[in-house]
Amino acid sequence: MLRIHCPWCGTRDESEFRYRGDAGRVRPAHEAGLASFSAHVYERANPRGWHLEWWLHVAGCRQLLKVLRHTQSHEIRWVGRAEEPAPLPEDCAP
C-alpha cells in the first residue's frame, strides 16, 4: 500500500488519493493539431522505473500533487505541488 506524503496534509494512505496518470505529459495547444493531440491522449512512456505522476488528494486538501514514484519498487522519491518542477532523476523517462 502506498503512503504518499502530501505537502499540505502529511503522509496518508493511497486510499485518500485518486490517481490521474502520467504527469510528464503536457497538453498541447489546440492549434498543435491532431497528431500532437492523439499522441498526448493515447501514448504513454509507461516506464519501468521512475514515473512522474498526478495524484489528487480527494479525501484531504483536494490539491493535485506531483509524485515521483518507481513503478517497480513503488518507492516514492519526491512529492510536490502541481506547479512545482520535479527533480527528475537521470533515468526518468521524459
Partner 1 sequence: MSAAPGRVVAGLLTAGGRAVTFRFDGRIFQGLEGDTLASALLASGERLIGRSFKYHRPRGIITAGPEEPCALVDVMTASGREPNQLATTLLLHEGLEAVSQNRWPSLAFDIRAALDRLSRFLPAGFYYKTFMSPGWAWERLYEPLIRRAAGLGVLAPVVGAHAEAAETLHEHTDVLIVGAGAAGLAAAAVLGASGLRVLLAEQDAALGGGTLLDARWQAWRERRRAGLVRVPGVRCLERTTVLGAYGHGVFAALEVLGAAERAAFGGLRERLHVIRAQRVLLATGAIERLIAFPGNDVPGVMLAGAALAYLRRYGVAVGRRPVFFINNDEAYEALFALAAAGITAAGVADVRPASHAAQRARELGVDVLCGARVTAVRGRGALRAVQVVTGEGGQREFAADCLLISGGFTPAAALATQLGSPLAWQESIAAFVPELAGAVGRVAGAARGVFGLAAAAREGALAGQAIAAELRGREVAAAAAAAAEAEDAGLPADAMATPMSPLWEVSGRGRAFVDLQNDVTSADVRLAHREGYEHVEHMKRFTTHTMATDQGRIGGLLGSAVLAEARGVPLSEVGQVKARPYVQPVPFAALAGGEVREHYKPKRRVALHDWHERAGATFVPTGLWLRPLVYARASSWEAVLGEARSVRRAVGITDVSTLGKIDVRGKDAARFLDFVYANTFSSLPIGRARYGIMLREDGMVFDDGTTSRLGPEHFLVTTTTANSTAVLEHLEFQLQANCRELDVLLTDVCDQWAQFAVAGPRARAVLSAVVGGRELSNAAFPFMAAGEATIAGVAGRLFRISFSGELAYELAVPASEAERIWLAVLEAGTPCGISPYGLDALNTLRIEKGHVTGAELNGNTSAADLGFARMLKPQGDFVGRVLSQRPALEAADRLQLVGVRPAVRTRRLRNGMQLVAPEAPTASLGYITSSTPSVELEGWVGLALLAGGRARIGTRLTGTSPLHDERLEVEIVSPHMLDPENTRVRA
Partner 2 sequence: MGGGGHGLATAYYLATEYGIRDVAVVERGPIGLGNVGRNTTIIRSNYFLPDNIRFYEFSLKLWEGLERRLNFNAMVSQRGTLNLFHTEAQRDLMTRRANQMRLLGVDAEAVSRDEVRSLVPLVDLDNGRYPVLGGFLQPRGGTVRHDAVAWGYARGASEAGVDIIEHCEVTGLRREGARITGVETTRGPIAAEIVCLAVAGHSSVLAAMAGLTLPIESHVLQAFVTEGIKPVLDVVLTYGAGHFYVSQSDKGGLVFGGAIDGYNTYGQRGTLPMAEEVAASAVTLLPGVARLKILRQWGGVMDMTMDGSPIISRTPLAGLIFNGGWCYGGFKAIPAGGMTTAHLIARGEAHPVATHLDLARFAAGRTCDERGIGPYPYLH
* Residue 43's binding partner out of partner 2, partner 1, none, with CB under 5 to 8 Å set by partner kind: partner 2
Q: Which of residues 47-66 bind partner 2 (CB under 8 A)?
A: 47-48, 51, 53
**What secondary structure does DSSP assign to 80-93, as a single string?**
EETTSPP---TTS-
CB hemisphere CA count around 12 (13 angstroms)? 20
End-to-end alpha carbon distance in the chain:
26
Which positions touch partner 1 (CB under 8 A)? 1-3, 13, 18, 20, 23, 27, 29-30, 32-34, 37-38, 40-42, 54, 56, 58, 62-64, 73-74, 76, 82-83
Strand order, beta sheet including 64-70: 18-22, 50-56, 64-70, 76-81
Task: Give me the least distance between CB of 11 and partner 2, in Å please.
Answer: 16
Q: Which residues bind partner 2 (CB under 8 A)?
A: 1-2, 14-15, 19, 21-22, 34-35, 38-39, 41-48, 51, 53, 71-74
